[in-house]
Structure 1
Amino acid sequence: MKSPSASEFDARAVIRHLPEKPGVYRMIDASGTVLYVGKARRLKRRVASYFNRSNRGSRIDAMVRQIRDIEITVTHTEAEALILENNLIKQHSPRYNVLLRDDKSYPFIVLSDHSDFPRLGFYRGSRRKGGRYFGPFPSATAVRNTLSHLQKVFPVRQCEDSFFRNRSRPCLQYQIERCTAPCVGYISPADYARDVSHAVKFLEGRSGEVIDELAAAMEKAAEALDFEQAARLRDRISSLRQIQEKQYISGEKGDLDVVACVHEGRQACVQVFYIRGGQNLGNRSYFPRIPEETDEDEVLTAFLARYYLGRQAPREILVNGAVPEKDLLEEALSRESGLQVSIRQRVRAERRRWLDMAVTNARAALAARLASHAGMQQRFEGLQQALSLAEVPERIECFDISHTAGEATVASCVVFDTEGARKSDYRRFNIRDITAGDDYAAMRQALTRRYKRLREGEGRLPDLLLIDGGRGQLKQAMEALEELQVTGVELVGIAKGPDRRPGEETLFRAGQEDVVILPPDSPALHLLQQVRDEAHRFAITGHRARRDKTRRTSRLEDVPGLGPKRRQILLKQFGGLRGISRAGVEDLASVKGISRELAQRVYDTFHDDGPAP
């Protein structure tokens, strides 16, 4: 239903025809822009309240002055209205609603429905495809960390099916003992199914059962004098216990989220801790955009609706503030999730401590955002929007190659997060055994060396990998990551424009044909330029140091028994290295202090065709 528009809005005429039924209303301005979306148990009464001057503040006053139309949608129940309200707010992003900017779907771990050798992998999106899903997880980082733990303890394959089907020999994951090579038949379906079963129990929070089964198998192997197998099982048990120590929450067994909201001025932070199967999967900070005169309870209530409607909610949500429409929100979440969802504020003992921790983290995150690094955070958020990423990246790594006509090739890797450059994580790679000047091979070698180490547990993967170059360099990065089976990392190539001037860069994304060109004043582009330029500087510095060291090193230093004094004598006698290289053995031996044997060694250093006749 839509009211007639008019240059001067006649609120009474519109309200007169509104029904006393549940539904959603939309406030519209003169340009047709949606100012506000709300839901009501009785539309007529709720909309009329906006035009009662005695009950509204300055924010409502400002909105009401702009209203030129009101649209409504009648629903059967208030819970349906709440769900529709959430969808419309996501669609229109009204100025006067509390908006959650980072509003993408949760990432999951999925176990494919492959008949003999299913894979575990990263997944985000609609769960309509076959397979079994575990999660949700708070971020891609949490998924990767969990998959990394699983691969060390239960070597279930994580490679893509296309990669799996076309193998004729085991890949790197088998060599580093992260996979049992089912692609080439190195493990039977029954043994593989056992590993899958253990991985599933771990993801379900039943790691205690897994440890008991592994302990029994270890004892059986020891009794059979298969000590090598017993040692492998012992190491698995040890790894599982270490994971339990890091992730297990005493006293909690089910799935729950802990949500805390703090508010200061026009800024608010909502901190969410995720507990799944008794395991702490980490936490995330959210900074919703809020209108003026919005208190913490309003922000918390709006966050719960914006965040959980349309997603899989846990059975229990702990909150640090009052939720005025708690019963209604529980009904809507329960309907969508297929579970009985409870929202609880008054908790004690262990749960009270977790709620206090969430509040502490929210305050710390808000203080950090209000500090000087807020600009960097905004750049990261701008990058998410500019590239349509699923979530705000928390860590960016960038690679660049530097050399002089193929000499002393060095690759650099720089790391940035929302705090800025993380120089302690920078790395350089001296590139060897490639054709001089082959930048593609250099890039592939650097990426392979870098992410092979990370796959072995020596660091953390980035959320976004930036490559200084165009489609060719990006292809090398894609192939290197595929060979290592690194997933969940966004790949972007950045190439300078035709005139190589800043502001004309072209962005290439893996798997997409269309390029992205950001405006010169884009904060996201400024961030990418900063990261790219830092990688370039770091690569050039390393290249120059390596090149200078090579050029300073004389081939005479490689001659056994030829010390600094004798080298100086030879250089003076023959006028430099070129003169020494042209001299015969007899000429060299005629120099004081140079024996014939030593002269022969000097001669051999400059001639590869054997001793002089």
Structure 2
Amino acid sequence: MKQSPANIAQRLPNKPGVYQFLNHEKEVIYVGKAKDLKKRVSSYFSKNKYESAKLRVLVSKVVDIKHIIVDTESDALLLENNLIKKIKPKYNVLLKDDKTYPWICIKNEPFPRVYSTRRVVHDGSRYFGPYTSGVLLKTILDLIKSIYPLRTCNLALTQQNIKSGKFKPCLEYQIGNCLAPCIGNQTEEDYNESITLIVDILNGNIQTVKRIIVERMHYYAKDYQFEQAHKYKEKLAALERFQAKSTIVNPRLTDLDVFSIVEDSKVTCVNFIKVVQGSVIQSHNLELKKGLDETTSDLLAIAITELRQRVNSRAKELIVPIIPEYVLDGCKYTVPTRGDKLKLLQLSQRNAKAYVVEKSMMLEKRDGESRTMRILKSLQKDFKTVALPHHIECFDNSNLQGTNPVSACVVFKDAKPAKREYRLFNIKTVVGPDDFASMAEVITRRYSRLVSDGEALPQLIVIDGGKGQLSTAYNALKSLQLHQKISIIGIAKRLEEIYFPGDPVPIYLDKNSESLKVVQYARNEAHRFSIGHHRNRRSSTATASQLTEIQGIGLKSVEQLFKEFKSITAVRKASVEELTRVVGHSKAKLIFQFYSNINLSNDEIKT
């Protein structure tokens, strides 16, 4: 008889270890660690209510439990991390980087090559990193190249191949970048001595390397081998330039791992900073996605284990914001409250926060892009456009009592206003308040111009009006032979009904429809834009008509006055001399006298 998960949990030992939950398909769906296996696993099945819906679902799917006993809590932490990476259970924390970072590889081969790579191959080669800064990686490789001439070829430099004389020195040897071990010019012992010093540099032990270089420089100088001494002097200078670019904290801080964690509603990031001999030599961000309701302490412990394994860290002291519930054996966890260690923790927190902010902005942008695509698909479906309506144009006519008719064209790109592309049209060929004729003129002018200039046409045109305005606009498009390339609709104000060309029966979209909201927004923008322009024209006309009432002052003089004085108020206040400079003495006297009489009349009225 098969036992229930609750009964299996009761038979677990009171020892540290790792447990695995299995479902009906015998798949591992969750891996966890515990200081006391029986107590921890039983807690899942003794609760009647769970705060997390995910936890309820997880427990409902468990049909079997496996466990592994270990000696210490630290072993449980390490084993859990390895099993999660291997099995990738559905309900566990997901560890992810924002990209694949490069490493520096010292290849496992005779006369090892040193190069950057994004692939970690477990073939005995040594890897250092990962490096989040490409500039730092290049700086280190340039430093190594400037100090130690290493081979870059992929020849199999076994002693047998070298002695057989099957290789010839390449250009790198000719220009001094390699000592040609391929032809026996450099011994393997001498080459490996350079590799040892390179490992010290990559581990941050720059002081050791500097001391060896200084000793050799002095040795050659005393022996009057000044050329060799100068070469070591150049190596020392390169090393010091590199060290100057590193973030110096305090030389007394020898070997530290610094961890911080920053969480928001969408992203959790743990930042890792490695400090060797007072210099920050490495920084790395690890993003975590919660599987269940893991605490900050749990997430930090998981990240510390993963990051130290990745970079093969052996630091004995860890700087952390809180002491995790699970800690690694042989490591000292410090929560600093002041001094250089606190500054390091704050530096790490700033890095983590910057990552979270950047990631959140990327997620918001991605969510916004997916929302935009949803709206465009809705517009395409509701308004029967051939292509997604990335480009929409909406027209509205405005005139008051037949004066100064204007039309506005507003442009929407990806369902949002593109205000720089808004256009205004003064109606030229229509006399009186004729909306239909005005619409035909504007549509013809707008799209004949776009076609002649070779500019992109919209996928959808929206007309502010009912059947009549829509029919007129459609016929104008038809005369331009664009009616099959551009979809066109009309929106009537009364009931927000949508009209299609040739169909007398409108459609009514739900008032919460995203398509309707976009069209309404475009219609309101066009109305606002046209009314604003219409008011400006009427104001300018009224001003101009006041000046043209003066006998002897024409429209050309009015334009010259406004170009100079900018407003009617400035014209009224101008002296005869100021007016004369613009329109001449005789016209200046006429204008000045005109406004003097108006001012005098106003004074009489006040009296």
Larger radius of gyration: 2
TM-score, with length taken from structure 2: 0.50
Q: TM-score, normalising length from structure 1?
A: 0.49
